[in-house]
């Protein structure tokens, strides 16, 4: 009996071991076929992906597939031919969204994402997982990125062609990823890295675009080219000259010379990061997103470069001090020609900055002790020069500021600004200032603008020796301000001076008012002291009446009323019967070409053989001219501000 049972057991075991393995058959990888013309397993790709299991391959025959694909399986998606197997996103957010690791895609044209949604985060291929391979694809015409990896690692991006996208390849918080032998052309940015570390980027060709690298460290860049020239990225280098490059990045470098190169069409021509005592000379940086970026970099020299047609900024300085930007041509930037933020003691001198499409020629934010000298700034569609957000001790000297659509010079919430010897012509506003302390406007030609000078909420503004002529609205407009207006020529303006609101002790002394229509307009309450001005329509030595207007509040019922206007009169106590010497001849030519050559000693200022008493000097040209400028008038002691023979 036991033998019988044993025999039966052996037979059963043999039968089981000889049976086919149904489990092995159900887990075997499959290939699922897709053809938009029919005759395959499916006619669209997403249905095949839904039907697939981990480890399967979806093979797509050549055709045109207008689809959005969502991948949540570890499969391979293979196209028959990358030029003829086309996935078109129809302008949606992304085309292929990969949300599963161990995925591979190869052999497709992927085009047309992101026209209708948030373009900066749209993509041809969007990846949020690890161990993804993207190879041998043609990725074109995507408004955001061609390939966008976010928060993943251990990926491969290889042998793809990426053309006419916002960004070709974008890596955002990516590690240990290989980006090899891709061709990126005519994107706004070829490859963008943000907070991405320990990646290998080798043998890529970038044409008419370049790299943008931010907060990314310990990446291995080798044998990459930008516009068929080397992509040069240096770390901790010293005492070198770069004589061949398509794009340059300097990290913690010193005394690097860049000269006579063409770094155009490279997204960012040059980027300096914690790099000092470097020189960029006689280099062409046209048609970039940014011409030059300087971050935390000091004592560098940028001379005689051509920086044209940048999408954002010609030169952008962040937390960079004591740099010299001299003799450059910076034309047709779309946003700002030269932008400084948190950057001190820089010199911007003798540059040509022109563009009908740029917002501002030179813009400075939250910085101090910068010099803007002898530049030609024209055609901006907002302002020639803008200072705002607590800029202090800025000197704007000898510039030609013309034909800007809105402001020649625009200053907001700054202090200790000196505007000297500029030609400010044919802007909507010559100079516009709001919320300023200790402002000096001296010996400028302010002509043919809409408004000559417009100031609001200024404490201690001093307007001296300016020619303010033929401005179609107002020569000078002051509201809620106090200061000193001395020895200016107001000629052929529609209104020479307008004082609105409560001006606190404005002293108007020894100016010439010639052929303005009308001469003065003011609205009480104003605390204005007129003295010694020349009025070409008043040949008398007796006090000159000055007509204005006051407003009396009429209360109808509590909280409801209206201002009732009434005529008001001020007087110039001692009008001059002869024109005052204001530093300009009758034809508008300066009689003081060296006016800003001022010698300071103690609290006396010597200017053209005369001494101005009790005026604090300020060093306006610390580097080249060592000239001094009057600063910090005390308007409460205005009678002491008299010119006397030395």
Give 405-418 as a DSSP string: SSEEEEEEEEEEEE
Buried-state track 98-117, b at ≥16 Cβ within 10 A, e below 16 = bebbebbbbbbbbbbbbbee
523 has a pLDDT exceeding 80: no
Q: Where does the pLDDT of residue 503 fall: very low under 50, low under 70, confident under 90, or very high at 90 and above?
A: low
* Mean pLDDT within 369-374: 96
CA–CA gap between residue 163 and residue 208 (Å, rounded): 10
Domains in the chain: ranges and CATH? 28-222 (2.160.20.10), 599-645 (no CATH)
Q: What is the pLDDT of residue 547?
A: 79
The beta-carbon contacts of 407-411 under 8 Å, at least 24 apart in sequence, are: 407/382, 407/383, 407/431, 407/432, 408/383, 408/384, 408/446, 408/449, 409/383, 409/384, 409/385, 410/382, 410/383, 410/385, 410/386, 411/386, 411/387, 411/436, 411/439
Phi, psi of 607, rounded to the nearest 5 degrees: -135, 110
* Mean pLDDT within 593-600: 38
* Mean pLDDT within 355-378: 95
Asked whether 69 and 90 are in contact (CB, 8 A), the reply is: no
Asked whether 419 and 443 are in contact (CB, 8 A), the reply is: no
2 has a pLDDT exceeding 80: no
Lowest mean pLDDT among 330-344, 369-383, 400-414, 591-605: 591-605
Which is more confident, 634 or 309?
309
Asked whether 400 and 373 are in contact (CB, 8 A), the reply is: no
Bond from prior residue into 518 cis (ω within 30 degrees of 0) = yes
Three-class secondary structure of residue 297 per DSSP:
coil
Three-class secondary structure of residue 3 per DSSP:
helix
CA–CA gap between residue 370 and residue 277 (Å, rounded): 18
Which is more confident, 120 or 252?
252
6 has a pLDDT exceeding 90: no
605 has a pLDDT exceeding 60: no
636 has a pLDDT exceeding 60: no
* Mean pLDDT within 354-370: 94
Three-class secondary structure of residue 2 per DSSP:
helix
Which is more confident, 557 or 577?
577
Q: How do residues 393-413 score in pLDDT, each as one tens digit?
A: 999 999 999 999 999 999 999
Q: What is the pLDDT of residue 104?
A: 98
Three-class secondary structure of residue 21 per DSSP:
coil
CA angle centred on 276, ends 275 and 279, rounded to 5°: 100
Alpha-carbon distances of 141 from 162, 226, 444, rounded to whole Å? 9, 20, 51
Q: What is the pLDDT of residue 600?
A: 30
Q: Where does the pLDDT of residue 121 fall: very low under 50, low under 70, confident under 90, or very high at 90 and above?
A: confident
CA–CA gap between residue 497 and residue 509 (Å, rounded): 13
* Mean pLDDT within 102-126: 85
Q: What is the number of other CB atoms lying within 10 angstroms of the CB of residue 18?
A: 7
Which is more confident, 631 or 296?
296
Q: Where does the pLDDT of residue 504 fall: very low under 50, low under 70, confident under 90, or very high at 90 and above?
A: low
* Mean pLDDT within 594-617: 35
Q: What is the pLDDT of residue 556?
A: 65
Three-class secondary structure of residue 27 per DSSP:
helix
Q: What is the pLDDT of residue 626?
A: 27
Q: What is the pLDDT of residue 632?
A: 35
Lowest mean pLDDT among 24-28, 345-349, 640-644: 640-644
């Amino acid at each position: 009996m036991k033998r019988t049972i044993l025999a039966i057991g052996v037979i059963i075991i043999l039968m089981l071991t000889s049976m086919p393995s149904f489990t092995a058959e159900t887990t075997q990888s499959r290939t699922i076929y897709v053809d938009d013309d029919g005759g395959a397993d499916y006619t669209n790709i997403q249905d095949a992906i839904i039907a697939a299991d981990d480890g399967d391959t979806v093979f797509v025959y050549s055709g045109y597939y207008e689809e959005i694909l969502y991948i949540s399986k570890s499969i391979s998606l293979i196209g028959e031919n990358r030029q003829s197997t086309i996935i078109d996103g129809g302008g949606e957010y992304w085309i292929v969204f990969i949300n599963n690791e161990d995925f591979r895609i190869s052999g497709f044209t992927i085009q047309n994402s992101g026209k209708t949604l948030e373009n900066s985060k749209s993509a041809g291929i969007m990846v949020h997982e690890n161990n993804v391979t993207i190879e041998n694809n043609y990725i074109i015409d995507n408004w955001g990125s061609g390939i966008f990896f976010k928060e993943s690692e251990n990926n491969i991006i290889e042998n793809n062609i990426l053309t006419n996208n916002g960004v070709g390849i974008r890596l955002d918080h990516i590690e240990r990823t290989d980006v090899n032998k891709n061709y990126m052309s005519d994107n706004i940015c070829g490859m963008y890295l943000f907070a991405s570390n320990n990646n290998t980027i080798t043998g890529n060709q970038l044409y008419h675009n370049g790299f943008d690298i931010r907060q990314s460290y310990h990446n291995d860049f080798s044998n990459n080219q930008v516009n068929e020239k080397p992509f040069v990225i240096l770390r901790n280098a010293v005492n070198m000259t770069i004589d061949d490059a398509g794009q340059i990045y300097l990290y913690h470098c010193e005394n690097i010379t860049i000269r006579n190169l063409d770094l155009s069409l490279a997204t960012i021509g040059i980027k300096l990061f914690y790099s000092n005592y470097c020189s960029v000379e006689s280099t062409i940086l046209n048609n970039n997103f940014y011409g030059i970026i300087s971050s935390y970099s000091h004592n560098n020299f940028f001379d005689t470069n051509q920086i044209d047609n940048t999408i954002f900024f010609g030169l952008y300085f962040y937390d960079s001090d004591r740099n010299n930007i001299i003799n450059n041509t910076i034309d047709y930037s779309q946003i700002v020609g030269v932008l400084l933020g948190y950057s001190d003691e820089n010199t911007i001198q003798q540059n040509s900055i022109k563009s009908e499409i740029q917002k501002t020629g030179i813009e400075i934010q939250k910085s101090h002790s910068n010099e803007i000298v002898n530049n030609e700034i024209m055609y901006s569609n907002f302002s020639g020069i803008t200072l705002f957000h607590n800029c202090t001790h800025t000197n704007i000297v000898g510039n030609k500021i013309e034909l800007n659509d809105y402001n020649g010079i625009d200053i907001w919430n700054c202090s200790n600004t000196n505007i000297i010897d500029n030609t400010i012509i044919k802007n909507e506003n010559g100079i516009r200032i709001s919320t300023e302390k200790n402002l000096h406007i001296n010996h400028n030609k302010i002509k043919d603008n809409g408004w000559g000078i417009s100031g609001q909420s200024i404490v201690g503004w001093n307007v001296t020796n300016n020619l303010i002529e033929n401005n179609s609205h107002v020569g000078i407009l002051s509201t809620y301000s106090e200061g000193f207006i001395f020895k200016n020529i107001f000629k052929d303006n529609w209104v020479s001076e307008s004082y609105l609101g409560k001006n606190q002790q404005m002293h108007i002394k020894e100016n010439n008012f010639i052929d303005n229509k009308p001469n003065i307009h003011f609205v009480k309450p104003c605390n204005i002291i007129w003295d010694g001005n020349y009025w070409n329509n008043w040949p008398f030595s007796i006090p000159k009446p000055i007509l204005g207007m006051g407003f009396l509040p009429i209360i109808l019922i509590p909280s409801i009323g209206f201002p009732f206007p009434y005529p008001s009169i001020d007087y110039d106590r001692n009008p001059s019967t002869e024109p005052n010497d204001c530093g300009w001849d009758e034809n508008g030519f300066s009689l003081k070409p060296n006016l800003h050559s001022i010698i300071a000693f103690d609290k006396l200022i010597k200017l053209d053989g005369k001494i101005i008493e009790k005026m604090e000097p300020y060093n306006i040209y610390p580097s080249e001219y060592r000239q001094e400028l009057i600063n910090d008038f005390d308007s409460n002691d205005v009678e002491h501000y008299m010119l006397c023979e030395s």
